[in-house]
Amino acid sequence: MKPAITWEDFEKIDLRNGTIIDAKHNKEAKIPAYILTIDFGILGIKTSSAQLTQHYSIADLLGTKVIAVVNFPVKRIAGVKSEVLVLATVCDETGTLLVSADKRSINGSQIK
């Protein structure tokens, strides 16, 4: 288990929900990954690289509501400008599973 954080530490994390509007294979990734295009409503359209290929096809991902950290600095991952970190759970050696939001949630809504 990780060390405890303060409430103030947690409040620094900006978690928002969005909808995946496009996904494609990231051919430059060493570990298979998708390049996701996500609509965050008032925050705009953001991209992310995500290692989800073991449990999701591109068709599975389109229209999926996700939760992401939106206030990390932009990072280049396997040639992709990754603007957000999409949250997922580690399943086991078979890959990761998305943490999703309710379909009724509004894109860009803050997770509290």
Query: What Rg, from alpha-carbon coordinates, does the chain have?
Result: 14
- Give the class (CATH, top level) of 15-98: mainly beta
**Alpha carbons 33 and 21: distance in angstroms, whole number:** 16
Average pLDDT of the segment spanning 88-111: 90
Q: Is pLDDT above 80 for 94?
A: no
pTM of the model: 0.93
Helix (H) or strand (E) segment spanning residue 54: none
Average pLDDT of the segment spanning 86-90: 93
Average pLDDT of the segment spanning 67-88: 94
Per DSSP, the three-state class of 7 is helix
**pLDDT category, 52, cuts 50, 70, 90?**
very high
Residue 15: predicted pLDDT: 97
What residue ranges do the domains of the chain occupy? Answer: 15-98
**Residue among 85, 77, 37, 82 at smallest CA distance from 58:** 37
**Residue among 19, 106, 99 at smallest CA distance from 63:** 19
Residue 45: predicted pLDDT: 98
From residue 89, alpha-carbon distances to 7, 8, 10, 95 in Å are 22, 24, 19, 9
Average pLDDT of the segment spanning 28-34: 91
Residue with the bigger pLDDT between 110 and 112: it is: 110
